[in-house]
Each structure stands twice: as C-alpha cells, then as structure tokens.
C-alpha cells in the first residue's frame, strides 16, 4: 500500500471492508470525506505528487467493496474537481468538490424521499429488506406528511441489517413486525408495497441489491404487491451502458457459519454472495431524486447523466 495514503483514509477503507460503514449512500459519503482528509493533510510539495496521492487514496478506497457503484461514482465526482495549477489550489478543489458531493447526496435523498412518499397512502403496510437510507427517507417523508405507515421488516441474514431498519423505523414512530427472511411470502398478502434500496442499477433497469431482493420481488409479484426501488441517481451504473456487468461481492463464509460448526456438519462447501440481480420485469418503479421511472426507461436518465463517459481518474496515467 502506498505510504502516502493517510492513516484516516486507510481506517475508513478498513471500516467499509468490515461493514462498520455500509450501505451504498453511506459508503459514498465516507469515501468523499476520506478524499477530503487526504487533501487537507497532504504534505505533497508539487501538484503532480498531490494528484498521485489522491489517486492512491482513491484506489485504497475503491478496492474495498465491489458492488456498490456509489463508491466509484463518488470518487469520480470528487477527483474530477482537481483543476488548479498549484498544490494549495488543488487542495481547495478537493475540499470544495467533496463538500459539494456530500451536500448533493443529502439533498438528493431528501428529494427522493418526497417522491417515494407520494406512492405511499395513509394506512399502508410496507415490507423492507436489508437497511437502505433511501428507503427510510421515503418512509420518513410519508410520516412527516401525517400518513400512518406500518412495516414488516425482514431480518436479512447473514448480517441482520433488518435490525437497523427496525430500530430506525421505530424511532420514526412506525410500528414494526420483524420476521425471518423465509417468512416473507406468508406475510406478503398483508403488504401494500415492498420497498428496497439499490447498490447499483444497470442500464436495462435491473436492480442489484442485498441478496434475497430478487426472491422477494418474484414473490411480491406473485402476490400482487408492487415493488418500489428507492435509488438515488448515484446508484446508476455507468459501465453497464457499454456492456459491463456488475460484480457481485462474495463475502467471508464465516458470516454464515464458523469453521468448527462447518466441520461438525460434514464440511459442506459454503458460499456467501452479498447481492443479487432483480430483473426489471419484477420492479414497478425506481424512485430517484429526479422523479420516478419505470425500470425500462432508466437508461434515458443514465445517458443524460453519464454521457461524458466513465473514466477511472484514480488509475495511474
Ligand atoms: C446494503 C444494501 C442496501 C443498499 C442501499 O448492503 O443492500 O439496500 O446499499 O442502501 P450492505 P442506501 O449492508 O452489504 O452494504 O439506500 O442506504 O444507499
């Protein structure tokens, strides 16, 4: 690892890797702040050395989790801001673009929340999977409009992010029923909307989100419950416009079963994919800060936002 990468940047990278910091929007916010710290603390004495440090810091952050496209999208946004000819100017450029990025993130989530809230009616019951701050923004906006919302929350094995969702919904005054993941189909008859977030949205409208989302969507369609994806445009995956696929992160199998227990039950192979792909035909609406879109039309928005390309400004020139 490059010795010029600031220890705080390494700490943030480690926290993302171990999921102390998790969820696509939160990861994006953390990496923008990390680049800001790298810039503020840099003692590079010429512009090229400064740029090289920022690229190295970005690569350290980029290597942590492969699926959430908000991470490279955040790095791209902040690094694109570097235009000044001096070290001091470059430092200001990064601080400014990191601050802009974090403000836009907050604003986008609030705007998206108001769009998503329009889909929810007073008295609705929602079902959630994993923990998504974009989803919670929709529920919060609905509650602020005076709507009574109840939630059935899937625990979301193996990491139980549903517990975080349950706690945050309870803080909003939303009555919560917690269920194991495999109970979802049984309760879908009682549900008016399934609400999930996204780690990435592909150009064909496929949604990449926490493992179990696609099975939930198929069951919800079978039961007639609409599936709404709350996803800031930061989660649109520009590489999919040119045929790239989204990497699905495989995590440590110890998240599922410890080595001792695995041996006791005959040492089966264990696999732990963190995300899956929900095809567009199972998604009713993708709610963004720019309004709601049928999944098949998201490509139009992607072309508008990423028309300028998907360069990797963290790569060595
Ligand atoms: C989190 C997850 C969330 C999305 C969206 O997975 O799948 O639904 O990241 O979250 P993990 P947000 O826990 O593995 O990071 O709406 O907060 O960006």
Write the pLDDT tens digit of every residue in 273-292: 999 999 999 999 999 999 99
Supply the residues annotated as catalytic: 130, 199
Q: Report the run of H or E that residue 152 belongs to, with start and end.
A: strand 150-154
The confidence band for 2, taking pLDDT boundaries of 50, 70 and 90, is confident
Q: Provide the pLDDT for residue 311.
A: 85
Nearest atom in ligand 1 to the alpha carbon of residue 235 is 18
Mutual angle of helices 161-171 and 133-144, in 10-degree steps: 20
Longest alpha-carbon distance in the chain: 64
Ligand 1 binding pocket includes 284 (Cβ within 6 Å): no
Per-residue pLDDT, averaged over 69-79, amounts to: 96
Q: What is the model's pTM?
A: 0.96
Per-residue pLDDT, averaged over 15-25, amounts to: 97
Ligand 1 binding pocket includes 67 (Cβ within 6 Å): no
Nearest atom in ligand 1 to the alpha carbon of residue 274 is 14
Instruction: Indicate whether 310 pLDDT > 80.
Output: no
Per-residue pLDDT, averaged over 116-145, amounts to: 98
Distances (CA, A) of 191 to 18, 23, 221, 230, 307: 33, 24, 12, 17, 39
Closest to 16 (Cα-Cα) out of 54, 51, 65, 50: 65
Per-residue pLDDT, averaged over 41-48, amounts to: 96
Q: Provide the pLDDT for residue 294.
A: 98
The confidence band for 1, taking pLDDT boundaries of 50, 70 and 90, is low
Give the Å distance between the CA of 274 and the centre of ligand 1: 10
Q: Provide the pLDDT for residue 309.
A: 62
- From CA 252, how far away is CA 84, in angstroms rounded? 43
Instruction: Indicate whether 181 pLDDT > 70.
Output: yes
For 37, the token pair is 């710290």
Does residue 158 have a cis peptide bond before it, meaning omega lies within 30 degrees of 0? Answer: yes
Q: Provide the pLDDT for residue 308.
A: 56
| Residues ≥6 apart with Cβ < 8 Å to 308 | none
Mean pLDDT for the chain? 96
Q: Provide the pLDDT for residue 137.
A: 98
Among the listed ranges 156-170, 210-224, 293-307, which one has the minimum average pLDDT value? 293-307
Instruction: Indicate whether 155 pLDDT > 80.
Output: yes
Closest to 74 (Cα-Cα) out of 291, 317, 238: 238
- The beta-strand segments (E) located in 211-300 are 227-230, 275-278, 285-288, 291-293
SS3 263: helix
Ligand 1 binding pocket includes 119 (Cβ within 6 Å): no
């Amino acid at each position: 690892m490059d010795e010029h990468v600031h220890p705080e940047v390494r700490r943030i990278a480690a926290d993302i890797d171990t999921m102390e910091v998790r969820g696509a929007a939160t990861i994006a916010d953390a990496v923008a702040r990390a680049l800001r710290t790298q810039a503020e603390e840099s003692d590079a004495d010429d512009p090229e050395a400064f740029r090289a440090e920022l690229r190295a810091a970005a690569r350290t952050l980029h290597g942590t989790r492969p699926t959430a496209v908000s991470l490279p999208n955040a790095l791209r946004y902040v690094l694109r801001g570097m235009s000044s000819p001096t070290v001091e100017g470059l430092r200001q450029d990064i601080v400014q673009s990191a601050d802009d990025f974090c403000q836009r993130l907050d604003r986008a989530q609030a705007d998206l929340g108001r769009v998503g809230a329009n889909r929810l009616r007073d008295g609705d019951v929602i079902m959630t999977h994993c923990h998504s701050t974009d989803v919670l923004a929709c529920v919060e906006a609905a509650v602020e409009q005076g709507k009574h919302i109840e939630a059935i929350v899937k625990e979301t094995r193996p990491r139980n992010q549903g517990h975080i969702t349950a706690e945050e919904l309870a803080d909003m005054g939303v009555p919560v029923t917690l269920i194991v993941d495999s109970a979802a189909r049984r309760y879908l008859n009682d549900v008016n909307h399934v609400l999930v977030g996204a780690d990435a949205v592909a150009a064909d409208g496929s949604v990449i989100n926490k493992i179990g989302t696609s099975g939930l969507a198929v069951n919800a369609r079978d039961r007639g419950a609409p599936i709404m994806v709350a996803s800031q445009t930061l989660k649109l995956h520009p590489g999919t416009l040119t045929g790239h696929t989204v990497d699905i992160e495989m995590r440590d199998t110890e998240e599922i079963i410890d080595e001792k227990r695995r041996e006791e039950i005959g040492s089966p192979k264990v696999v732990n994919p963190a995300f899956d792909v929900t095809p567009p035909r199972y998604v009713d609406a993708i709610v963004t800060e720019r309004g709601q879109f049928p999944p098949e039309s998201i490509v139009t928005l992607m072309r508008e936002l990423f028309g300028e390309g998907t360069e990797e400004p963290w790569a060595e020139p």
